[in-house]
A and B are shown apart, each in its own frame.
Chain A
Amino acid sequence: MALNLTINTSNPPLGALLAAEHVKGSVQVSVKEGNDTQLHVSDSIQFSDANSISRYLARVAPALGLYGANMMEQTEVDHWLEFSARRLCGQPGLTVALDELNKALSLRTFLVGHALTLADLSIWAALQGHEEWPRQSESFSHVNRWFSFLSSQVPFTSIGTKYTSKKAPVSKSKMNE
């Protein structure tokens, strides 16, 4: 099964790109640049929302554990995916959301369980693409530690430098999982 991911270069879906990088060894995903972000699964199935794309990629490569190790963790991942879409992406004030994130990260190295999940990818992507984050980062030490830790790891470094968009990302209008 070959999957085709097309990305909007003026507003690249960093979370979906990270998920694609992670599953590369298990699933065949080709990445193309284009006008609209879309994951082409088959002629009748396409996804255009970044979180839907990540979810699908995580589910076709279950061995990687990107969707958590059990049902509880899966629910937590869903919580953070929604948190990133509603509270971070394209939102003007980040302070309240960052405070919540900071509390959650005080006793955690990764957001969910003991390994990397979609939750980390999606929230990292939302902060990376948010113009307010660099100014706020100093005041939230736990979020800052987590963010720079991920930024130093392998797929994050390349994705971060390759697709750094200046615009604050995405309207939430295109959800069709």
Chain B
Amino acid sequence: MALRELSSLEKYLGLKKPNKYSTRGEKKVPVLQNNNGPSLVGLVTIACHLVKEAKRPELLGSSADDRAVVQQWLEYTITKLQNCTKEDTKTILKDLSLYLRDKVYLAGSQITLADILMYYGIHAIIMDLTIQEKEQHVNVTRWFDHIQHYPGVRHHLPVVVVLRNRIYTSRHH
């Protein structure tokens, strides 16, 4: 799974020559064999390397604060999103919705690698939500819809249908 994400990321970054990856261990951790150095292991490590290779450092955050927040969410995607249970997804959606209340992107006011990897990681969860649940977590849904339509990000994943008007707000009629 991580391999498709890395190849989509390569396309988003406009890297001409696709890299060759292998996987290691039971959890299928991705490995990038580097021509002039030791091999790189792990989704986030390789993703950060690709960003630097593409000379797009702003994708890792433009200020010191933003860079820290980007790293925080990158870690979140690999520690919390992989192999999570039904209970976990509820907490994830709640936390994320609260966090995104006053934000367009996860860090700062520009898209970063954190948004892209979070989008790849959370896609399966959002895909399974009912329309009503999507509306409950309105801030995640809005963020998700924005990222899936962001030019060049989506690639291997199907579009998730998102209603852009609320239908479960009984208060306003």
Chain B 122-163: CB-based contact to A (< 8 A → 1; otherwise 0): 000000000000000010011101100110000000000011
Q: Give the bracket for the number of chain A residues in contact with chain B.
A: 10 to 19
* Pair count A-B, CB < 8 A: 40
Residues of A within 8 A of B164 (CB): 107-108
Which of the residues B102, B104, B162, B172 comes within 8 Å of A107, measured between beta carbons?
Answer: B162
Q: Could you tell me the distance between the alpha carbons of A153 and B102 in the complex, rounded to whole angstroms?
A: 16
Question: Is the CB–CB distance between A145 and B104 below 8 Å?
Answer: yes
User: B33 — which chain A residues lie within 8 A by C-beta?
Assistant: none
> What does DSSP make chain B's interface, helix, strand, loop or mixed?
loop
Taking CB atoms, residues of chain B closer than 8 Å to A145 are 101-104
Contacts of B165 in A (CB 8 A): 104, 107
In A122-166, the 8 Å CB interface with B consists of 141, 144-146, 148-149, 152-153
How many residues on chain B are close to A (CB under 8 Å)? 20
**Contact status B145-A107, CB under 8 Å:** yes
Partner of B166, one of A106, A144, A153: A106
Asked if A172 is at the interface (CB within 8 A of a chain B CB), the reply is no
Closest to B100 in A: A145
Establish whether residues B109 and A103, one from each chain, have CB atoms under 8 Å apart when the complex forms: no
- Most chain A CB neighbours (cut-off 10 Å) among B104, B141, B145: B104
A141 to B166, alpha carbons, bound, how many Å?
16
Name the contact of B163 in the complex, choosing from A107, A148, A152, A153 (C-beta under 8 A).
A107
Cβ contact of A141, chosen from B102, B146, B150, cutoff 8 A: B102
Give Cα A107–Cα B164 distance, bound, in whole angstroms: 5
Are B169 and A103 in contact, with the CB atoms below 8 A? Answer: yes
Tell me, rounded to whole Å, the shortest Cβ–Cβ distance linking B162 to chain A: 7
Q: Is the CB of B141 within 8 A of A107?
A: yes
List chain B positions with a Cβ less than 8 A from chain A.
101-104, 109, 138, 141-143, 145-146, 149-150, 162-166, 169, 172
| Selected A-B contacts with CB under 8 Å, 18 pairs | A103-B166, A103-B169, A103-B172, A104-B165, A106-B142, A107-B162, A107-B164, A109-B143, A109-B146, A114-B146, A141-B102, A145-B101, A145-B102, A145-B103, A148-B102, A149-B104, A152-B109, A153-B109
